[in-house]
Amino acid sequence: MIHNKRQGIIESKELAKSMRKDILLMTHRAKGGHPGGCLSATDIMAVLYKCFMRIDPQKPLWSGRDYFFLSKGHAVPAQYAVLMEMGFLDKEEIKDFREIEGRLPAYPSCESTPGIDMASGSLGQGLSIANGTALAAKLNNSEQRAYVMLGDGELHEGQVWEAMMTAAHYKLDNVCAIVDYNKLQLDGTVEEVKTLGDLTAKWSSFGWKTIEIDGHDFEQIYNSFAEAMQFKRGPTVIIAHTIKGKGVSFMEDEVGWHCASPTDEQLEIAMKELS
Amino acid sequence: MKIAPREAYGQALVELGQENKDVVVLDADVAKASMTVMFKEAFPDRFFNLGIAESDIVGTGAGFAVAGKIPFVNAYANFLLGNGWDQIRISVCYANKNVKIIGHNIGASSGKDGPTHLPLEDIALTRAFPGMTVIEAADGIEVKKAVRALAKHVGPAYMRVGRLPIPVITKEEDEFEIGKANIIRKGKDVTIIACGVMVSKALEAAECLAERGIEAEIINMHTIKPLDTLTILNSVAKTGAVVTAEEHTVIGGLGGAVAEFLACTKPVPMRIVGSPDRFGVCGTYEEIHEVLGLTVANITETSISLVLLK
């Protein structure tokens, strides 16, 4: 964890660049996965892991760790990438994504992968999990924090709104949710499929502190996590406006890249763009 | 003597809470019915009411387990499994978390509340999850032992707990081990395997059968999963016939578990006493049991006809 903001942001940017390459290599080799929603989440995860998460790659189950739950589990290549870059996983494991052997299944598995604390793959469940860990931390008088990343389409799931009420009721200032608001889901734009309306007003009316940011502006990402840590009256949500497929020109804002894998030629172009 | 399983459950949680500081109790606005209110009064800081939100309560329980706590997650069985099924599947069972799912008001024990409130499918639903332990104690004494055993057991578990008083038929000194059935009456002519309130009815049926010269062996199968197949095999080797009895649909419950096992290893004549493939009705506990055939008479007659087939 880097405490110096300027240095932290410099290193987070480098981390994000490496993560994007890893994500493309994983989804290309596996001929499957969800690169669009990985790339929209990358910059946020890079800053969170580099600058805020108290974790130990040598002891993934260290009892004092902060928690990160990827509720939008289909973006797990992004989490594998950050865990590789942070030393929880080996870069050689890129070849294992979605394979029968190895530790990198298509969706998160806490039984398979060091650094992952909960399974996901059925949307809507992560915020409840984060609340449970946060309540436990409070019981233990521990400073541990629970972060959870949700997709925007995922907010259609009713459980999320149940859990929003729970976090607000128990004033869980150690819970920080992030909405990866890339505006696209499998069947089209979120607006077309089922509008979220005024998302900030909705979270706010549920008793959450809301922070709206550009989810690719490292300064804003850093500041939002720092602000969430300082806020002591309840849970905080960071509504991060992002671009699906961010960083790869032909993937950006294209709904088709929700679930697809790059061809050999596309991989070559993408890797050049990221270099 | 009769004890309501939920009363015993509430007392057991309080005892457990005194011994083990890691135990936390979650409820979905039914604490006065599930009797977790007793734990709430004893340990308010370790009790969490999540409101009427069964999906959320399962997930929150799983979060507690991630952090090393031992959560007991409580709601009415039908709503907990109905609304929380996907959460139990992914966040508890697939994630292999140490969460105790406690389904209340099981079987016909909500009586006149009627079909929506009578869970007759919960064993089938939970038994299908990989890695899930499924328990139904035979009486209040055994409920207490089961709670204690569940706290020691590491891994996902489901226990069904009834609302109304049922006969006490086990003794304080009886052993209770998860996955180890108790033979509570020896016999040579037919094996009757039961769980929950039906164990007491099976014992009564055994008395009726004895009058007809049929000696029934009664097995209290408090753990439906993992099934104690060795005890079943040994008994069946002797009796050559099996009747199961449960306060649950005949589809996929205790009878289903026993049938799956015996059909593939040692087929013997078998009958399943349970609710037929239908919903319950509004009525008293006894009236509903009559309608569904969950009676001493049905176990007795079923056993006689089976023995005649041998």
Identify from A71, A111, A142, A166 which residue to disrupt to test chain B contact, counting B C-beta atoms within 10 A and taking the largest count: A166
pLDDT for the residue numbered A3: 80
Does residue B140 lie within any of the structural domains? yes
Which residues of chain A does B90 touch, with a Cβ-Cβ cutoff of 8 Å? Answer: 119-122, 125
Does residue B52 lie within any of the structural domains? yes
pLDDT score of A111 more than 90: yes
Domain that residue B291 falls in? 182-309
pLDDT score of A2 more than 90: no
pLDDT per residue as tens digits for the range A86-106: 999 999 999 999 999 999 999
pLDDT score of A1 more than 90: no
Q: How far is A248 from chain B (nearest CA, A)?
A: 33
Based on the fold, state whether residues B112 and B242 are members of the same structural domain. Answer: no
pLDDT score of A185 more than 90: yes
pLDDT per residue as tens digits for the range A144-163: 999 999 999 999 999 999 99
Which residues of chain A does B62 touch, with a Cβ-Cβ cutoff of 8 Å? Answer: 118, 128-129, 132
Does residue B286 lie within any of the structural domains? yes
- Chain-chain contact of A125 with B59 (C-beta, under 8 angstroms): yes
Chain B residues near any Cβ of chain A (below 8 Å): 24, 45-46, 48, 50-51, 53, 55-69, 71, 86-87, 89-91, 94-96
- Chain-chain contact of A165 with B59 (C-beta, under 8 angstroms): no
Based on the fold, state whether residues B125 and B237 are members of the same structural domain. Answer: no
pLDDT score of A14 more than 90: yes
Based on the fold, state whether residues B44 and B124 are members of the same structural domain. Answer: yes
Considering only CB atoms, B59 lies closest to which of A110, A136, A159, namely A159
pLDDT for the residue numbered B235: 98
Residues of B acting as catalytic residues = 54
Spans of chain B below 50 pLDDT? none
Residue A198: count of CB within 10 angstroms of its CB: 10
Q: Describe the strand order of the beta sheet including B216-220 as a list of residue ranges.
A: B182-185, B216-220, B190-194, B242-249, B270-275
Instruction: With beta carbons less than 8 A apart as the criterion, state whether A271 and A21 touch.
Output: yes
Sign of the C-alpha dihedral computed for residues B208, B214, B219 and B225 taken in this order: negative
Its ipTM equals 0.96
Does residue B172 lie within any of the structural domains? no
For residue B270, the domain's CATH number is 3.40.50.920
Does residue B124 lie within any of the structural domains? yes
Considering only CB atoms, A128 lies closest to which of B59, B68, B89, namely B59
Query: Among B167, B192, B226, where does a domain finish?
Result: B167
CA angle A178, A183, A187 (to 5 degrees): 120
Which residues of chain B does A135 touch, with a Cβ-Cβ cutoff of 8 Å? Answer: 48, 60, 63-64
User: Mean pLDDT, to the nearest integer, of A3-12?
Assistant: 94
Considering only CB atoms, A121 lies closest to which of B56, B59, B90, namely B90
pLDDT for the residue numbered A21: 98
Residue A174: count of CB within 10 angstroms of its CB: 26
Number of folded domains in chain B? Answer: 2
Query: Among B119, B137, B167, where does a domain finish?
Result: B167
Considering only CB atoms, A159 lies closest to which of B56, B65, B95, namely B56
pLDDT for the residue numbered A40: 98
Q: SS3 for chain A, per residue?
A: CCCCHHHHHHHHHHHHHHHHHHHHHHHHHHCCCCHHHHHHHHHHHHHHHHHHCCCCCCCCCCCCCCEEEECCHHHHHHHHHHHHHHCCCCHHHHHHCCCCCCCCCCCCCCCCCCCCCCCCCCCCCHHHHHHHHHHHHHHCCCCCCEEEEEECHHHHCHHHHHHHHHHHHCCCCCEEEEEEECCEECCEEHHHHCCCCCHHHHHHHCCCEEEEEECCCHHHHHHHHHHHHHCCCCCEEEEEECCCCCCCCCCCCCHHHCCCCCCHHHHHHHHHHHC
Q: How far is B7 from chain A (nearest CA, A)?
A: 27
For residue B137, the domain's CATH number is 3.40.50.970
Q: How far is A264 from chain B (nearest CA, A)?
A: 35
Query: Among B102, B134, B167, where does a domain finish?
Result: B167
pLDDT for the residue numbered A86: 96
Q: How far is A124 from chain B (nearest CA, A)?
A: 9
For residues B87 and B83, give the distance between their C-alpha atoms in angstroms, rounded to a whole number.
Answer: 8
For residues B127 and B258, give the distance between their C-alpha atoms in angstroms, rounded to a whole number.
Answer: 12
User: Mean pLDDT, to the nearest integer, of A62-91?
Assistant: 97
pLDDT score of A72 more than 90: yes
